Amino acid sequence: MQAIRLHPAAPGQQPHTPENPAPTFALHLDTIPIPKPSAPGEILVQIKASTVIRDTLTWPETYSHEYTTLGNDLSGTVVEVFSPEHSKFKPGDEVFGMTAADRPRTWAEYAVVRENEIALKPRDFSWEASAAIPLSGQTAFEALFVHGGIPVPKEENKVVENKQRVNPNHNGKKILITGAAGGVGAYMVQLARFAGLRVTAATSANARNDEFLRSIGADECIEYAAVKEQRDVYDLIIDCVGGETLVDLWKAVKGDGRLITVDSSSYNFVEEHTKQGIHRNGVKASFFIVEGGPNGLEALARFADLGILQVFVLKVYPLEKAAEAYEFGNGRLTGRGKVVLTV
């Protein structure tokens, strides 16, 4: 099969590390054997699409061994199941999901995945759209419904006009989402609206983002400068940007509210802000890294099938142009959505 693998540095050159990331020309299209499921819970999937995840070449996991095949998001067809009598999947099933960060392997024609990393894909979504969901969608899902304490909305809840659904049990709760127009933020806006929250979307520029964010469910849109003036407004704040914006959010959240960030550079923000005297007792504050799993994937597929989850794909490249796709995805993007590789 063909796979995109990261080749090591040439002899005499400094080895590739997160501090000395590999250049994109180190990504090669190689021919390697098709892997085989070798343990209970393993499934061989023929990959149809994967995504380019920004800054993957700076991840420690990328350099855990030589000749890493990159890629975590996937959509594809089940080919072989190690333990068919104990699996809910069978050959021919169309699935989507995300491999663990330390197990990249989806920039390839085939990949062995674990059963708890995949779910049946949305029925009417393309391979490209389905592959664009798992990492960003599950991050949003876990932020809201796991760490944010909001119950997962059910499709039995009222169906409203224009495919907007509201969970009446949570009307009145206010949420602020920073980086709302980004890849994760756009999912959060949609899911928060579905859960019945009053959604305030914050970005750097209303002129560029207001119309888009309202079209996917935001009740109001503000710029980061306006956040500085807010005091004790929101029951829940989910931050996707970090930095000074995250500092300002301590005042904007209610004294008994929740403040969550998914910004990777803010992993220890509670400790650091406490040292700086910014921390407020009573606010439940946390950082998390997405875990992923069938519960989130199945819920996201259900929401997509209900028609209340929009997915955005910015550009599609064939597998052999993975290096070009990575360069594009790590540049200054002017559109919305994921960069996708098709296999």
Nearest to 165 by CA among 298, 294, 305, 336: 305
Q: What is the pTM of this model?
A: 0.93
Nearest to 194 by CA among 215, 163, 240, 172: 163
What integer pLDDT is reported at residue 155 of this predicted model?
63
Tell me how crowded residue 147 is: count the other CB atoms within 10 A of its CB: 17
What integer pLDDT is reported at residue 279 of this predicted model?
85
For the chain, 343 residues long, the average pLDDT of each consecutive 10-residue run is 96 93 96 96 98 93 92 97 94 97 92 97 97 97 96 63 45 90 95 95 92 95 94 96 95 96 93 91 94 96 93 97 95 86 97
What integer pLDDT is reported at residue 159 of this predicted model?
43
Q: Tokens for 277?
A: 């005297």
Cα R_g (the chain), whole angstroms: 21
What integer pLDDT is reported at residue 25 of this predicted model?
94
Could you give the strand order of the β-sheet that contains 2-6, starting from the edge strand earlier in sequence? 27-31, 2-6, 68-69
Report all structural domains of the chain as residue ranges with CATH numbers, in order of start.
Answer: 2-133+311-342 (3.90.180.10), 137-287 (3.40.50.720)
